[in-house]
Amino acid sequence: MVMKEQRKLVLMLLMVMVIIMGCMLKGSNGFSLCNMNEDGLDACKPAVTQPPEDPKPECCKALNGADLRCLCSYKNSSELPLFGIDPILASSLPAKCNLTPPDNC
């Protein structure tokens, strides 16, 4: 049981390090993930957290320019709930923005 907790801690620390490194590399532009900048990710957060809201136009605009295949690669990530993101809501977001998700997503 202790090993499982240590593994979770290591994974969380790695995620924090990746986020910090991404911010440092992006400089003043902030964090970016799968061609979505921090503003786009923030605009989509209410649509992928409980209780969900309809996606804002800013979210759909950001999602339209995002690498959906890249975002889809996170759908089974155990880290999403750590950020309050509901994977089921996240996977349904492209359809709510009238976008076609990649196959097998």
pLDDT of residue 18: 56
pLDDT of residue 66: 94
Cα 60 to Cα 64: distance, rounded to the nearest angstrom: 6
Cα 63 to Cα 67: distance, rounded to the nearest angstrom: 8
pLDDT of residue 98: 96
In 3D, which of 84, 18, 19 has the Cα closest to residue 48? Answer: 84
Amino acid symbol at 47: A
pLDDT tens-digit profile of 52-104? 999 999 999 999 999 999 998 888 888 888 888 998 999 999 999 999 988 88
Indicate the pTM of the whole model. Answer: 0.68
Architecture of domain 2-96: Orthogonal Bundle (1.10)
Burial (CB < 10 A; 0-12, 13-18, 19+), residue 91, is middle
pLDDT tens-digit profile of 10-67? 455 455 555 655 554 455 456 788 999 999 999 999 999 999 999 999 999 999 999 9
**Encoding tokens for residue 77?**
């990530």
Instruction: Report residue 5's pLDDT band, with 50, 70 and 90 as the boundaries.
Output: low
pLDDT of residue 58: 96
Cα 3 to Cα 72: distance, rounded to the nearest angstrom: 29
Domain segments of the chain as ranges:
2-96
Is the CB of residue 67 less than 8 Å from the CB of residue 74? no
